[in-house]
Amino acid sequence: MKRVILLCALFACTAGIKAQETAIYKEKQPYKSWVQMAPKLDDAFFHTPEAIRIADNVLLYQQTTGGWPKNIYMPAELSPQELEDVLAAKEDVNASTIDNDATSTEIHYLSRIYLATHIEKYKEAALEGIRYILKCQYPNGGWPQFWPRPTGYYTHITYNDNAMVNVMEILRDIYEKKAPYTYVPMNICEQARAAFDKGVECILRTQVRQNGKLTVWCAQHDEHTLAPAKARAYELPSLSGQESDNIVLLLMSLPNPSPEVIASVEAAIEWFKASQITGIVRENFTNSEGKKDYRMVPCPQSATDCPPLWARFYTLEDNRPFFCDRDGVKRFDLSQIGHERRNGYKWYNSDGLKVLKRYEEWKKEIQERDTSK
């Protein structure tokens, strides 16, 4: 009898925890919670009523373009007024975007719930999302941040925040028939393969030459000239030590890379090696106004681990790391920009380390391939 009571209590406790988790999904949260949470949900979740409720929300937010707006926490329960606003925004086609993991996250979620439920409306919506990605690709192979938004920096070919790389990776999963895209018709898979290949061509064509030498990429490129382009006031034409890393990783993931791809990777790796910043580390502190802040200081002599860093932006002319505030003026010391931009943007990163590590493996793979010919 005690055992039965204990099991019942355990079941009630577990059910209570699950109910709390469901309630958390319904509450409004930062949009990043959605794009971080959605890919990590386990397969069992997609068989629950809560998963279907969220999927129906995703359908509500899908625009007539087939794409989705960004910065939306999709699981939030909507009030009648919010529902009315969401439905009215379906015609705001200029909000459709691939920025901040929008559209790709929703396609992936709907594809997973379709495989779990076989409810046709989810499959059709996911396919419309895929068609949106295919439609908004430029003839030169690049993707804009927003489409069909007609003006502004949104029309540039966008590597910023891995927008184009994310799209290309989902297209590759589609044409390779990886789960959850096993349902996608063959004609769309063929279009996805062609779009991916054009994307690779665009990457090769937009790699920046500095004094005639291939380097890396800008965070965005002009959709007509392919030259490095400006976005927001503090995002000037530059060589990007942030966005270039995942571009190189994508190129190194290609099977049987062409001589052009190999040359592109080798040049980018040379740039990463030459552009690493050593001997400094981030130091957090509280400033005189009581605000949290940080500065870059020399690594302590006692430090055993002081990994190299890369700046977000380097000058196109001479490869100098620079920083920029909302006034659009280049500065060459992080302390020279204001507190808001210094703390509201990622100016340094260590992601080049994963690029260099993968390169060593990739180089061996290329050598083994050449030896076996």
Residues marked active site are found at 100, 232
Q: How far apart are CA 107 and CA 129, in angstroms?
A: 6
Q: How far apart are CA 239 and CA 257, in angstroms?
A: 24
Tokens of 203: 């990457």
Q: How far apart are CA 164 and CA 240, in angstroms?
A: 15
Beta carbons within 8 Å of 180's beta carbon, 6+ residues apart: 108, 111, 112, 114, 115
Q: Which amino acid is at 59?
A: L
DSSP state of 91: G
Q: How far apart are CA 293 and CA 285, in angstroms?
A: 5
Q: How far apart are CA 320 and CA 315, in angstroms?
A: 5
User: Minimal CA–CA distance to 172: which of 207, 133, 144, 210?
Assistant: 133
User: Minimal CA–CA distance to 243: which of 254, 234, 235, 233?
Assistant: 235
Instruction: Name the 3-class secondary structure at 264.
Output: helix
